[in-house]
Chains A and B, each alone.
Chain A
Amino acid sequence: MKKLSILLLPIVIVAGFIVISWYQKLLSPTTGEDEVKHPLISKQKSRDKMARTGKPQRIVSLAPNITEILFALGLDKEIVAVSSDSDYPAGAANKKKVGTFWQPNTEAVIVSKPDLVITLWFEQQNQVAESLKRLDYPVLTLKIEKIEELLTAIQQIGVATGSKQRAEQLAKDISTQLNELQSKFGSAYKVKVLWVVQPEPLRVAGRNTFVNKLIELAGGENAVGQTIQQYPPIGTEEILTCGAEIIIQSAMGTAGTSEQQKAAEKFWSKFAALPAVKNNRIYVVQPDTVLRLGPRLCQGIELIANCLHPGENR
């Protein structure tokens, strides 16, 4: 039957393609993972790369906190390109930019001829990392969402960049500083803090966030209780009853901090019953050190602590 053959044709084609792709998969060298290597790049080359043990000379960083770690490890010269949101330290501004943290540009990464690309673990970066791996570029993918993960990540970067000792020192310094801060603020009175992510519509940092962890380390307590959202939008009723003694608002955009401070004070003046508003303890801070899990972590905690315990630090 003619009709039947037309209907069968697609199935035959699909089967054919699948067989071809399986066949290719069997032929091409795999690294034991589920990915297919670029078939046009020979096995020899992968072996060469494995044998090449020295320090990477051309590193590309795809996230601002990775850039900070690399600079902190003194790899200033080795970094060839960074993501365009890497704005600290000042040296990062002179590096070539390869697209944003959220949308890295694979072509730009390749053109900078990297011998090590460091990415963070999430969907958009994973896609770029896969493309690069397929072309045999060495990629280091890190998951940095907690403080412990940051310390591990620093050491991993140290191993990959041949600066193991410096990395261990940096990780050690950070954990010592953390311990010091903890013993300094651990016993203090727990100040109730409301961390405002954006004022309109009002969203605050919940308990299950990194900011919350820093607030606790700085000797505070989140004024908002357990919520299912990470950054819950909260209503007027909750604000009035949360009893926040301090309100910290992260600065946004390019407007000056003092202007934003004024705007924040005006915004909060309608909640006059709140202790924070009554005692005029509203702070607008630059959130980079707080929201970016990097080597400036302890500065972030101190920044919060300065708001929480004014006068005690100085």
Chain B
Amino acid sequence: MTETLTSKKLAITFFFCLLALVVVMALCAVVGTQKISLAKALSGPADTPGENIDYEILMGVRLPRVILAALVGGALACCGVVLQAILRNPLADPYILGISSGAGLGAIIAVLSGLTWRFWGGSPIAVFAFVGALITVWLVWGIGHLAGAGKSQVTTLLLAGVVVNAFFAAVIMFLTSIAKSDQIHSTIFWLMGNITEKNRSVLLVSAACIIAGIIALFSICHRLNVLTFGQDQAKALGVDTAVTQITAFGLAAFITAIAVSLSGLIGFVGLIVPHAVRLVFGPDHRRLLPVSAIIGGAFLVVADTIARTIVAPAQLPVGVITAIAGGPFFLILLAKYSRKVSWLK
């Protein structure tokens, strides 16, 4: 890609992607297991519950769910982009540095302890998962920092992540084996990733954190671009690699932890959406990051709509759909575009 990216071009791309996301969200809110009449739904709430069920389904069930899916998808895709950049590894996804197992461990501890309190409408599972994710990330970063001085730091970080992941996964398996059957079910559904309706305050606060995090990451896109050349060259170009890495890493970990505590472990979005967008739009992070966030959101909204309609009246965990639908789609993109651009410019 030799063309230069002007801010006008960026704004146009951004606008059209955002428009596409809104259209997708609107369409998916109308689709569902129960047919609703849009005119009736938009006429506002009735005086007694159960009178205008179209409105209740649209506003109380589908819209919160669609918004949540868009947020989580955007967060995961965006973090995938950042981690692939700072680790310089095409296999990196938001979970590669132990977030998945840390959050999973937190979740299973919450399920096993049978806590009943609710924190701001969030269940103990969400709170424990969030805390577990952050502690694990801190642990991995600490190990990676202690063990790998200088050049090999990225490798050490990856290794630390893999080992911590494996260790926590073993602890999760141990805890699952001693859990009650209904507790196991709760945990497994959580580990597969599940989008459910949340109340407004949870939605608002997490939306704020995620959007703010994405904006902050966008502000260091230039430095991420330079970082993909390698640490030495980045340093030679006057970028403080350590500060950039820790800022990007910290923000990505925070956003991912929020996404995970909202919806469990939804795989694949954070891996394939960044790659797909990179194949189509090129590797410039100024464009890659926001477009990935938007496309990731749209992808998860569609996947969740499929998950809640395909086996109606039952539902599937959305993680199943993202993996099944995402894999082949990504392979098609790979076959079509891989000759055009390489992974790293």
Residues of A within 8 A of B (CB): 3, 6-7, 9-11, 13-14, 16-18, 20-21, 24-25, 33-36, 38-42, 44-45, 48-49, 84, 97-100, 102-103, 105-108, 110-111, 113-115, 122-124, 126-128, 130-131, 134-137, 228-231, 233
For the complex, is B72 an interface residue (Cβ under 8 Å from A)? Answer: no
For the complex, is B201 an interface residue (Cβ under 8 Å from A)? Answer: yes
Contact B212 A11 (CB under 8 A): yes
Contact B182 A122 (CB under 8 A): yes
A-B contact pairs, 9 of them (CB 8 A): A9-B212, A14-B209, A24-B204, A36-B199, A103-B314, A110-B50, A130-B199, A134-B199, A230-B179
How far is it, in angstroms, between the C-alpha of A192 and the C-alpha of B121 when the chains are bound?
A: 47
Contact B215 A16 (CB under 8 A): no
Number of interchain pairs (Cβ within 8 Å): 152
For the complex, is B186 an interface residue (Cβ under 8 Å from A)? Answer: yes
Q: Choose one: B53, B186, B199, B316; the contact of A111 (CB below 8 Å).
A: B53
Interface membership of chain B positions 257-291, coded 1 if the CB is closer than 8 angstroms to chain A and 0 otherwise: 00000000000000000000000000000000000
Contact A34 B118 (CB under 8 A): yes
How far is it, in angstroms, between the C-alpha of A7 and the C-alpha of B75 when the chains are bound?
A: 18
Further pairs besides A13-B211, A102-B189: 11, Cβ < 8 Å: A10-B215, A18-B208, A25-B201, A48-B48, A49-B49, A107-B62, A111-B34, A130-B199, A137-B49, A228-B178, A230-B181
Q: Choose one: B123, B179, B201, B213; the contact of A24 (CB below 8 Å).
A: B201
For the complex, is B233 an interface residue (Cβ under 8 Å from A)? Answer: no
CB distance from A151 to the nearest CB of B (A): 20
How far is it, in angstroms, between the C-alpha of A38 and the C-alpha of B58 when the chains are bound?
A: 13
Chain A residues whose CB sits within 8 angstroms of the CB of B49 once the complex forms: 41, 45, 49, 135-137
Number of residues on chain B facing chain A (CB within 8 A): 56
For the complex, is B32 an interface residue (Cβ under 8 Å from A)? Answer: yes
Interface centre among B59, B181, B183, B208 (most CB of A within 10 A): B208
Contact A18 B205 (CB under 8 A): yes
The verdict on A123 contacting B213 (CB below 8 Å), with A111-B57, A228-B178, A230-B179 known, is: no
Chain B residues whose CB sits within 8 angstroms of the CB of A106 once the complex forms: 61, 197
The verdict on A84 contacting B50 (CB below 8 Å), with A17-B208, A21-B201, A36-B201 known, is: no
Chain A residues whose CB sits within 8 angstroms of the CB of B120 once the complex forms: 34
Contact A41 B45 (CB under 8 A): yes
Residue of chain B at shortest CB distance from A127: B196
Contact B32 A99 (CB under 8 A): no
Chain B residues whose CB sits within 8 angstroms of the CB of A114 once the complex forms: 50
CB distance from B257 to the nearest CB of A (A): 15
Interface centre among A16, A20, A123 (most CB of B within 10 A): A123
Q: Choose one: A20, A99, A102, A115; the contact of B50 (CB below 8 Å).
A: A115
Contact A40 B59 (CB under 8 A): yes
How far is it, in angstroms, between the C-alpha of A98 and the C-alpha of B313 when the chains are bound?
A: 6
